[in-house]
Amino acid sequence: MDSHSQVLERLRTGFRSGITLPLEFRRTQLTKLLALVKDNEEQIVKALHQDLAKPKFESILSEVEIVTNDLHHAISNVATWIQPEYVPKNLATKLDDCFVRREPLGVVLIIGPWNYPLQLLILPLVGAIAAGNCAVIKPSEVSSATDCLVAELIPKYLSQDCYAVVRGGAEETKALLQNRFDHIFYTGSQAVARSVVQAASVHLTPVTLELGGKCPCLIYGRINIQAAAHRLVWAKYFNAGQSCVAPDYVLCTKATRDALVPALTNVLEEFYGKEPQKSPDLSRIVSARHFTRLMKLLEKTKGKVVIGGQSDEDDKYIAPTVLVDVEEDDVLMGEEIFGPILPILTVEELEKSIELVNRKEKPLALYVFSDESSVVKTTMENTSSGGFCSNDGIVHMTLPGLPFGGVGASGWGSYHGRWGFETFSHRRACMLRGWALERLNGLRYPPYSDDKLKWLRWTTSAHSTCSLM
Ligand code: NAD
């Protein structure tokens, strides 16, 4: 196997050759990536099942389709995205060509997590390719079947001069990070993000961080409790709660909680049957380490389990679980839960719930469920989060038109659709000048005078964009 530096040298040579620049090359690689996903759908579904017991339905929806849609979107739009963007001019620059030119950054590194192991590698790669970069892709070793498959397929479909997969865990990734990249795109935990940023700082490499956090779901005002329970259960227990945008905890009044818990019980039975462990539609916890972490939370919480609570270590199974009487300082309210455990906190007023949310780090997603638009508006206007969605969970991230990313501790930067292209592009400010209007330009040359200054201020001011010439 090539060493990291050999891989990087090959990709640097590829980038320097200019091969990634033409539109046709980018489109061809994106089309090949699309073929990779389409031709190997069955194998992808199988690998995801091996890693997480992910149901085929969820794999198609959240890994295959989301990637396919983003690829179609990029293939159709990249020709427009790469066009120069002309900007307004003033009188002093009236005859110049002034535009923003999107240029590739170079050789970028994409590090992925295990929970959506295909989606979270391929979606950033779409942006990187569309923007004309070369890329090293580092899948998570935890989702080993998908890791293996990605490493086998990428070289078969994409240009080996421009794209490479490097495999390994923490130690290999740390070694890889010692190399100079032109951008690092990291998806994963906040803890590891700190060491990624530290490593990047050595070379002053810009970093995009797609992290997690605790995504709240506020339920206030009049509410269709049946619909709310369906959508909440779907968003929470999809991939067994191992989604960065899964609702992490619920805030509502006591009255709403008393109506919600029986509704959640019914919906859980409707979705997964009386014995959820036998349901083919429920994923498993990815590893023994994460199983133990989640079980410790259940042991230590002072909350009361009202639904679920059962587990089976050999099967890495934790039943869809709901707890009530959870306080703000409970162990379940510390770290992101990242599993099928849903605490419900009761807070009688919406404003107090908003205060509680604002005392914590800014989340990746924030959900509010209500029939009342004033509740939705108040929540949206008085909180901050990477994304926001009313009366549903997760679905806001499926649209390529919306940027996906965090804010503050939930992440830096965004991607999906054009936003991914922008993340992997340098916006170069270009001004192409000729030699005309030298007398006008002469206003800035010494010897200075008040008169010259007066004219200069006028020709460079915003008002002078009006067509005087
Ligand atoms: P992780 O941080 O443990 O691992 C992510 C990647 O980093 C893996 O490829 C891993 O090999 C590598 N890695 C692990 N330790 C490392 C180290 N010490 N130095 C360098 N690299 C290292 O994250 P995870 O457990 O795979 O994923 C779960 C986390 O990711 C959750 O916090 C979740 O919220 C977050 N997440 C965020 C998004 C998003 O889009 N914002 C999406 C999915 C997951």
- Identify whether residues 28 and 177 lie together within a single domain: yes
- Identify whether residues 160 and 252 lie together within a single domain: no
In this prediction the pTM is 0.96
- Identify whether residues 259 and 344 lie together within a single domain: yes
Ligand 1 contacts CB of residue 393 (under 6 A) = no
Average of per-residue pLDDT across 319-326: 98
- Residue 430 burial (CB count, 10 A): 14
- Identify whether residues 194 and 306 lie together within a single domain: no
| Confidence class for position 431, pLDDT limits 50, 70, 90 | very high
| Residue 444 placed within a domain | no
Structural domain span for residue 306: 216-400
- Decide if 67 contacts 122 (C-beta within 8 A): yes
Ligand 1 contacts CB of residue 272 (under 6 A) = no
- Residue 107 burial (CB count, 10 A): 29
- Identify whether residues 341 and 204 lie together within a single domain: no
pLDDT tens, residue by residue, 259-307: 999 999 999 999 999 999 999 999 999 999 999 999 999 999 999 999 9
Q: 113: CA distance to ligand 1 center in Å?
A: 4
- Identify whether residues 120 and 253 lie together within a single domain: no
pLDDT at 2 (0 to 100) = 64
pLDDT at 461 (0 to 100) = 84
User: Smallest Cα–Cα separation from 173: which of 165, 182, 163, 162?
Assistant: 165
Ligand 1 contacts CB of residue 112 (under 6 A) = yes
**Mean pLDDT of all residues in the chain?**
96
Q: 178: CA distance to ligand 1 center in Å?
A: 18
Handedness of CA 188, 193, 199, 203 (dihedral sign): positive
Q: Which carries the bigger pLDDT value, residue 460 or residue 23? A: 23
Ligand 1 pocket mutation, candidates 189, 202, 397, criterion most atoms within 8 A of CB: 189
pLDDT at 467 (0 to 100) = 46
- Identify whether residues 198 and 172 lie together within a single domain: yes
What is the biggest distance separating any 2 CA atoms in the chain, rounded to whole angstroms?
88
Average of per-residue pLDDT across 333-352: 98
| Residue 272 placed within a domain | yes
Map 256-287 to HEC letters.
HHHHHHHHHHHHHHHHHCCCHHHCCCCCCCCC
pLDDT at 321 (0 to 100) = 98
Instruction: For residue 205, report the phi and psi dihedrals to the nearest 5 degrees.
Output: -85, 130
The protein residue with its alpha carbon nearest to ligand 1, atom 9, reads: 140
Average of per-residue pLDDT across 352-359: 98
- Identify whether residues 180 and 229 lie together within a single domain: no
**Residue partners of 234: CB distance under 8 A and separation at least 6:** 271, 393
**Residue partners of 197: CB distance under 8 A and separation at least 6:** 207, 209
pLDDT over threshold 80, residue 1: no
Q: 245: CA distance to ligand 1 center in Å?
A: 14
pLDDT over threshold 90, residue 462: no
- Identify whether residues 243 and 359 lie together within a single domain: yes
Strand-strand pairing, 425-432 and 97-104: antiparallel
Q: 107: CA distance to ligand 1 center in Å?
A: 21
* C-alpha atoms less than 13 angstroms from C-alpha of 347 in its C-beta half-sphere: 22
Structure tokens at 158: 């994409």
pLDDT over threshold 70, residue 442: yes
pLDDT over threshold 70, residue 466: no
Q: Which residue is associated with the tokens 């690829």?
A: 71
| Residue 447 placed within a domain | no
pLDDT tens, residue by residue, 36-61: 999 999 999 999 999 999 999 999 99
- Identify whether residues 164 and 224 lie together within a single domain: no
pLDDT tens, residue by residue, 221-266: 999 999 999 999 999 999 999 999 999 999 999 999 999 999 999 9
| Residue 15 placed within a domain | yes
- Identify whether residues 240 and 129 lie together within a single domain: no
pLDDT tens, residue by residue, 377-399: 999 999 999 999 999 999 999 99
Does the bond joining 117 to the residue before it have cis omega, within 30 degrees of 0? no
How many structural domains comprise the chain?
Answer: 2
b or e along 437-463 (b: 16 or more beta carbons within 10 Å of the residue's beta carbon)? Answer: beebeebeeeeeeeeeeebbeebeeee
| Residue 462 placed within a domain | no
| Residue 352 placed within a domain | yes
Ligand 1 pocket mutation, candidates 115, 172, 202, criterion most atoms within 8 A of CB: 115
pLDDT over threshold 60, residue 468: no
Active site residues: 210, 244
pLDDT tens, residue by residue, 114-173: 999 999 999 999 999 999 999 999 999 999 999 999 999 999 999 999 999 999 999 999
Handedness of CA 346, 352, 354, 355 (dihedral sign): negative
Specify the CATH number for the domain of residue 295: 3.40.309.10
- Identify whether residues 177 and 256 lie together within a single domain: no
| Residue 375 placed within a domain | yes
